[in-house]
């Protein structure tokens, strides 16, 4: 299959591969759309099994960012960067400086920020070679780590879906969280504070232990998390958690989490709907982080200080947008992911 034949290609404006032997950099930057503004999306570092796997991930994530930014009502398009390498062993300042140079060569068509395997400290090195890096501290426009804002938008989405699907408060439900990294751990704290009972799983045993000690969560294996008795299943790790294999194992009525590309494919979303489960489309519910980053990009572009009130207003609007998706799904008797995709494409055809 060629690049243009890939189902994930879907009209990408550009796909850029960069290689720096000295720095050990192999990276792909995919730009899906700049119809609403410059493409924006995080940088992911992962030990992909092949360059083809990295490309497929970049394409899917980039397209999702176009949809996410449109649904968050941002003047940004969608893009994504993936760096091929093990984030536990292959990180160096030189690698991220080379990545920054690659981003800069795109002339502002793509803004990067953190994602899985990449931290603000890593991107500080990229910032030495490019101004098109967001999510950092140390300047008036800085928005800082976007993870807490992502967790806030997911928390609001979980609360809304629990009320809509179950008619309950968070204090009355049990939530299974798959992945307690940056966002998942903060989400666990928020849910615990709201009275929810938690079950957590992560490949990082120390992370699960820390969350369990703070929240009283039950810890299970990464495989067993699909089988626990819970009202809500919150995918907060990598994509593809909801698949024909895992769906029959889920006991939850609500699927709502922070991971990107939670559905293994559209057939998984259709199966969720047909089985009476309520799915909060991932790129709608997890839009808080990019809203925070957009606040920084906006401030940098205007030469102003970061405005938390602007971010708060966009977060409020994002919750309303999720309500609109749920309302249309119910009225039209269609899966939520189909409704959200249609709404996003409508917004992409109508520049911000």
- Per the residue annotation, which of 68, 80, 91, 190 is the catalytic one? 80
**C-beta of residue 260 within 8 angstroms of C-beta of residue 283:** yes
Q: What is the 3-state secondary structure (H, E, C) of 114-171?
A: ECCCCCHHHHHHHHCCCCCECCCCCCCCCCCCCHHHHHHHHHHHHHHHHHHHHCCCHH
Helix (H), strand (E) at residue 197 = strand 197-201
Separation between Cα atoms, residue 304 and residue 184, nearest integer Å: 31
For the chain, counts of helices (H) and of strands (E) = 11, 12
Residue 179's Cβ-count burial label (10 Å; 0-12, 13-18, 19+) is buried
DSSP string, 16-37: EEEEETTTTEEEEEEEEE-SSS
Is 80 catalytic? The answer is: yes
Q: What residues are annotated to the active site?
A: 80
């Amino acid at each position: 299959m060629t690049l243009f034949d890939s189902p994930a290609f879907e009209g990408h404006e550009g796909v850029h591969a960069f290689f720096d032997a000295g720095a050990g950099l192999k990276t792909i930057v995919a730009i899906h759309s700049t119809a609403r503004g410059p493409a924006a999306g995080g940088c992911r570092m992962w030990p992909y099994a092949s360059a083809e796997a990295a490309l497929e991930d970049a394409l899917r994530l980039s397209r999702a960012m176009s949809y996410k930014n449109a649904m968050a009502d941002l003047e940004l398009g969608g893009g994504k960067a993936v760096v091929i390498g093990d984030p536990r062993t292959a990180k160096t300042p030189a690698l991220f400086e080379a990545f920054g140079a690659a981003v800069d060569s795109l002339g502002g068509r793509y803004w990067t920020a953190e994602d899985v395997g990449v931290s603000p400290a890593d991107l500080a090195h990229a910032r030495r070679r490019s101004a098109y890096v967001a999510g950092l501290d140390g300047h008036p426009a800085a928005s800082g780590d976007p993870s807490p804002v992502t967790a806030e938008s997911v928390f609001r989405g979980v609360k809304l879906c629990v009320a809509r699907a179950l008619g309950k408060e968070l204090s009355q439900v049990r939530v299974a969280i798959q992945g307690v990294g940056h966002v998942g751990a903060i989400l666990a704290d928020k849910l615990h504070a709201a009275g929810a009972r938690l079950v957590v799983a992560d490949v990082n045993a120390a992370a699960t232990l820390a969350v369990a000690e703070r929240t009283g969560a039950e810890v299970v294996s990464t495989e067993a998390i699909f089988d626990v008795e819970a009202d809500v299943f919150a995918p907060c790790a990598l994509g593809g958690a909801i698949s024909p294999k895992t769906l029959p194992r889920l006991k939850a009525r609500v699927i709502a989490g922070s991971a990107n590309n939670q559905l293994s494919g559209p057939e998984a979303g259709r199966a969720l709907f047909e089985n009476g489960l309520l799915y909060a489309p991932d790129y709608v519910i997890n839009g808080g982080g990019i809203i925070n980053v957009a606040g920084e990009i906006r401030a940098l572009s205007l030469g102003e200080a970061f405005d938390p009130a602007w971010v708060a207003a966009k977060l409020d609007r994002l919750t309303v947008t999720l309500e609109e998706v749920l309302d249309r799904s119910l009225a039209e008797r269609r899966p939520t992911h189909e409704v959200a995709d249609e709404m996003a494409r409508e917004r992409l055809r109508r520049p911000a």
